[in-house]
Structure 1
Amino acid sequence: MKKRLLFLIFLAVFTIISCNSNKEKNNADQVVSESVDFNQSEYSFYGEEITKSGYSELSSPEDLLNGKDSSTVKVTGEVSSVCKKKGCWMTLDIPGQLKPLRVTFKDYSFFVPKNIEGRKVIVKGVLKKEVQSEEMRKHYAADEEKSQEDIEKIKGNEIEYSLVADGVILM
């Protein structure tokens, strides 16, 4: 009887520990894994789990495209803004460029935390040059919680570089 009681206690403790070890997921419940240890630092993965190696520093999108319409890249950069409504897009500062690189997430299948401005990320996905409509530019400005006055100043379509990410590592 004591062995059975000890076994049940052990099983209950094991179950509690297992349940508590599950990592939190983002709003879309799409975090592949959270808090993976690389050299004693914590990293968070969103979307497809990607490796930390083999990336390049974010530089001129023209150079990364190398004359093509689109290209699969893995780059690192600093987050300059994030969608404040859902975390469904972010922008990365591009050294030497006035406009940041807009990063959206493949098939709208995952989001990132809404408070990661200033954090470094590694992003893997498809980089492309595209025309962004005035309507979409205003939509992004509203998501970023810009003032109505700033939103109304947005006029016309604009050529923009964007990256549709398969996966993101938040450092």
Structure 2
Amino acid sequence: MKKILIVFGIALTIIACKTEDKKTEIQDVEKEAVVYTSIGEEITADAAKSASDMAEAYKSMHVGDTINAKMIGKVDEVCQSKGCWMKVNLEDGNQIMVKFKDYGFFMPKDIAGKEIVINGKAYVNEVPVDELQHYAEDAGKSAEEIAAITEPKVTFSFEADGVLLKGE
């Protein structure tokens, strides 16, 4: 009987030690919270779609369709004039042209490659030639590149009311 109690005691001690290790791992993960800088309206990163999920949503949309959306993505490009638009990578070879609601806020010009969360309205838009040329000029493209834009383009667009910029 003593042997059974000793074996039982050792088993409980081992189990208790393993449980403690798991608690430490969970606490370490919780310490690694992501820090964001909020721009525009206050939003949270909760329930944000991935760029690939958003790409699938855009594929089912047509010119004129609009949906409320929140997504996480990486910035490809920002307006170098004043930060009034940005392009976000959809991870499928497409980009989203993001503008800001009522031009109520602008983005820093040096955030290409940074992770962001955007909240607002996703839509499919046909952009006229003059607007495409204006964006190319804002992006610092050459006169030849701007002159080469001669056709309107169907784009995936987004009107953001709030942006979270991931900290470092």
Q: Which bin holds the TM-score, normalised by the shorter protein?
A: 0.7 to 0.9
Picking from 134, 144, 165, the partner of 2:139 is 144
Say which one has the larger Rg: 2
1:119 paired residue number: 114
1:23 paired residue number: none
What secondary structure sits across from 1:127 in the alignment?
strand
- Identity, in percent, stands at 34
What secondary structure sits across from 1:130 in the alignment?
strand
Q: Distance in 2 between matches of 1:122 and 1:89?
A: 15
| CA RMSD, Structure 1 to Structure 2 (Å) | 1.8
8 Å contact 1:55–1:76 — kept in the other structure? Answer: yes
What secondary structure sits across from 1:59 in the alignment?
helix
Normalised by the size of structure 2, how large is the TM-score? 0.73
1:94 paired residue number: 90
- After the TM superposition, list the runs of 4 or more consecutive aligned residues in structure 1 that deviate by more than 3 angstroms: 38-42, 65-68
Deviation at 1:114, TM superposition (A): 0.6
Unaligned runs of 5+ in 1: 1-37
Q: Distance in 2 between matches of 1:114 and 1:154?
A: 24
Picking from 34, 43, 46, the partner of 1:50 is 43
CA deviation profile, 1:106-141 (whole Å, cap 9, x unmatched) = 011100101000000000110101110000000000
2:125 paired residue number: 130
Length, aligned pairs only: 133
Q: Return the structure number with greater helix share.
A: 2
**AA aligned opposite 1:73:** A
8 Å contact 1:61–1:161 — kept in the other structure? Answer: no
Unaligned runs of 5+ in 2: 1-30
The answer on 1:84 being equivalent to 2:77 is no
1:22 paired residue number: none
Q: Distance in 1 between matches of 2:32 and 2:38?
A: 16
Deviation at 1:159, TM superposition (A): 0.7
Note the 1:66-81 alignment, pairs <5 A. Answer: 66-67=60-61, 69-81=65-77
Normalised by the size of structure 1, how large is the TM-score? 0.72
CA deviation profile, 1:80-124 (whole Å, cap 9, x unmatched) = 000001100000111122x31100000111001010000000001
1:17 paired residue number: none
